[in-house]
Amino acid sequence: MYTGLLHSHNLFVTLFFLHYVIKLVLLLTNKQEQLAKYSKTTKVPEMILSFGFLLTGGWMLFKGAAFTTLITIKLVCVFTSIPLAIIGFKKRNKVLAFIAVALIVASYGLAEVNKKEKTGAKIDTTTITDPIVAGKLIYVNKCQQCHGEIGNGGGSGAKDLSLTQLTLDEQKVMVRNGKNAMPGFKEDVLSDADIDAVLQYVATLKQ
């Protein structure tokens, strides 16, 4: 569910962004006539796109995407860019239009940084000899916020780990590389031994 939302959100954002890049290029190259024509023919699609991306974005927040500082800055960028874009293109003001499109780019960049930040810093488990204990420590710090205390997702939309059909190797790849809303955990955050440990702990969540 969450993943489907994220996909449609990304699609809406990409199309919306491309649409505005086209408009910006026409404006910057003084193609006033084409711009007027393009804006007129894309009026309804533009409405659908903006509605779609605001709706899917809002829905994701509602569904439990964490309200971090970055997300807040991102929202400010998005909501500043909208009036700037409307005024900028209406008044054919190149600077305003440019800033509006730049803000959309910035909020996209922030979304990527936000994804990266979700994995956080490395946890030292070297003094723990029992892999299940080490795995639990990692799980609580790195996985629980999305997958919930008992692995069932706790309503955040992440997959239920107690029901996973993936093999251990597939799970390792998933943790290392991530997929959609699941962030990839790189070597500097989780070593191979850490991933083995956390997946051993995850296996205990299966009833």
Give yes or no for a contact between 108 and 13, defined as CB atoms under 8 angstroms apart. yes
Q: Is residue 198 near ligand HEC by the rule CB under 6 A?
A: yes
Burial class (CB in 10 A: 0-12, 13-18, 19+), 190: buried
DSSP one-letter code for 22: H
Query: What is the C-alpha to C-alpha distance for residues 36 and 152, in angstroms, rounded to an integer?
Result: 52
Residue selected from 27, 71, 110, 181 as contacting ligand HEC according to rule CB under 6 A? 181
Cα dihedral 70, 74, 76, 77 in deg (nearest 10)? 140
Interface with ligand HEC, residue 179, by CB under 6 A: yes
Cα–Cα distance measured from residue 205 to residue 159, given in angstroms and rounded to the nearest whole number: 13
Q: Residue 201 Cβ, how far from ligand HEC at the closest point, in Å?
A: 8
Q: Please report, for residues 49, 92, 113, 173, the alpha-carbon distance to residue 86 in angstroms, rounded to integers and kept in the order given.
A: 15, 10, 28, 44
Size of the site for ligand HEC (CB under 6 A): 26
> Which of 29, 32, 41, 180 lies at the binding interface for ligand HEC (CB under 6 A)?
180
Q: Which is nearer to ligand HEC, 96 or 182 (CB)?
A: 182
CB atoms within 10 A of CB 79: 13
Task: Between 49 and 182, name the residue whose CB sits nearer to ligand HEC.
Answer: 182
Answer for the pair 164, 182: CB distance below 8 angstroms, yes or no.
no
Contact with ligand HEC (CB under 6 A) among 49, 175, 197, 205: 175
User: By CB under 6 A, is residue 136 in contact with ligand HEC?
Assistant: no
Choose, by CB under 6 A, the member of 48, 61, 166, 193 that binds ligand HEC. Answer: 166
**Binding residue for ligand HEC, selected from 12, 20, 89, 185, defined by CB under 6 A:** 185
In the complex, which residues of this chain contact ligand HEC (CB under 6 A)?
2-3, 118, 142-143, 145-147, 157-159, 161, 164-166, 171, 174-175, 179-183, 185, 198, 202
